[in-house]
Structure 1
Amino acid sequence: MVYVLDVNGKPLMPTKRFGKVRRMLKSKQATVMRRRPFTIQLLYSTPSYVQPVTLGVDAGYQTVGFSAVTEEEEILSGECRLLTGMSERLKERAMYRQNRRTRLRYRKPRFENRVRPEGWLAPSIQHKLDSHVRLVTLLKKLLPVKNVIVEVTSFDIQAIKNPEIAGTLYQQGEQLGFWNL
């Protein structure tokens, strides 16, 4: 699949006509904008007849699944793996910071720097949010997306196994009576 942008950089419908794309690149009617995913930009004006594309995003914890569809076919689908191990990196960073601070002879006491700004998220959650937004923004640059549908679900595994579960039965699950540290 080759993704196509018009003269102004707005996305057009992607094409599977690789021979035509190759001839357009050879005759300087188009230029390569990105190698991955392969995207060309036309150097002449064309009417922008596009079909409405719906982008579906399954917002997972470790992987983000996405699919772009028109009324006739699926144009693009895939998954994006998110970064893991954020807490270990933060612990390592805190260790280096502590070592830096212990090497100082005198450090002025600080008390006013512990306030978190409004809308603050933990770094791991902030990374996941930023990755979702970055993915949708990239796909909107490649395809003429009209609708974005984000699926956010949480599953109650005990209710899936036993539909009659309610109240204190949640506390009497599979791990009841198992030794605990």
Structure 2
Amino acid sequence: MKVYVVNKYGKPLMPTSPRKARLLLKEGKAKISSRDPFTISLIYGSSGYTQAGNLGIDAGYQNIGYSVVNEKEELIGGEVWMLKGMSERMTERKKYRCQRRNRKRYRAPRFDNRRRKDNWLAPSIQHKLDTHHKIIDKIKSVVPVKEVTIEVASFDIQALALN
């Protein structure tokens, strides 16, 4: 188990042991800054020596796996499950919107003013992208990261032959 450390300016430092973190908290040299993952913030100045790690992300369909490793060890790792049923939620919203509009008797036509932005993504894809950005930002705020690698594997499942 590791306790993550940030300096007094919010820059991430190397993780420490729970014992060392407990001693720093007891002596008043640190304060708790986050509970998930458990992170302490130093109150005094530190040298800021870090061994930056590489963040690897495996972008799956339902879940996202992540891990930060340096030459010696794994600093943090885990898995995030994404929301399910985004398409069904959008369909339900559309159904209620149509019902609401049909109850209004004399409504002017409002179909000529619909344009999508150039960088528009479907809501399910946009949610996936936003989740990736949130994960990367959260990890970078806790662990020193030098490089981010995202594994994207697209292959045809039907092409796999079962022998």
Shared fold (TM-score, shorter chain, > 0.5): yes
CA shift, 1:157, in A, is: 3.8
**Partners in 1 of 2:125 and 2:7 — Cα distance?**
36
Instruction: Give the alignment's TM-score, normalised by structure 2.
Output: 0.93
Q: Secondary structure at the match of 1:26?
A: helix
**Partners in 1 of 2:134 and 2:158 — Cα distance?**
34
Q: Secondary structure at the match of 1:9?
A: coil
Q: 1:156 to 1:103 in 2, by over 3 A?
A: closer
Amino acid at match of 1:87: S
Q: Secondary structure at the match of 1:88?
A: helix
Alignment of 1:89-168 (within 5 A): 89-157=89-157, 159-161=159-161
User: Greater relative contact order: 1 or 2 (C-alpha under 8 angstroms, separation 6 or more)?
Assistant: 2
Amino acid at match of 1:69: V
Aligned residues, how many? 161
* Alpha-carbon contact 2:3-2:15 (below 8 Å) kept: yes
Counterpart for residue 179 of structure 1: none
CA deviation vs aligned residue, 1:119-144 (integer Å, no higher than 9, x gap): 10000010001101110111000111
Q: 1:158 to 1:92 in 2, by over 3 A?
A: closer
Counterpart for residue 62 of structure 1: 62
CA deviation vs aligned residue, 1:67-125 (integer Å, no higher than 9, x gap): 11010111111111111100111111111111211221211111333211111000001
Instruction: Give the alignment's TM-score, normalised by structure 1.
Output: 0.84
The percent identity for this pair of structures is 53
Amino acid at match of 1:111: F
CA deviation vs aligned residue, 1:54-78 (integer Å, no higher than 9, x gap): 0000111111111110101111111
Q: Secondary structure at the match of 1:161?
A: coil
Amino acid at match of 1:8: Y
Give the 4+ runs in structure 1 shifted more than 3 A: 156-160
**Partners in 2 of 1:104 and 1:28 — Cα distance?**
64
* Alpha-carbon contact 2:14-2:144 (below 8 Å) kept: yes
CA deviation vs aligned residue, 1:16-65 (integer Å, no higher than 9, x gap): 2x222112112221110111110000000000100021000011111111
Amino acid at match of 2:34: R
Counterpart for residue 15 of structure 2: 14
Amino acid at match of 1:101: R
**Partners in 1 of 2:107 and 2:159 — Cα distance?**
55
**Partners in 2 of 1:68 and 1:54 — Cα distance?**
5
* Alpha-carbon contact 2:75-2:143 (below 8 Å) kept: no
Query: Which deviates more from structure 2 when the two are superposed, residues 149-158 or residues 49-58?
Result: 149-158
Q: Secondary structure at the match of 2:141?
A: helix
Amino acid at match of 1:152: V
**Partners in 1 of 2:113 and 2:30 — Cα distance?**
53
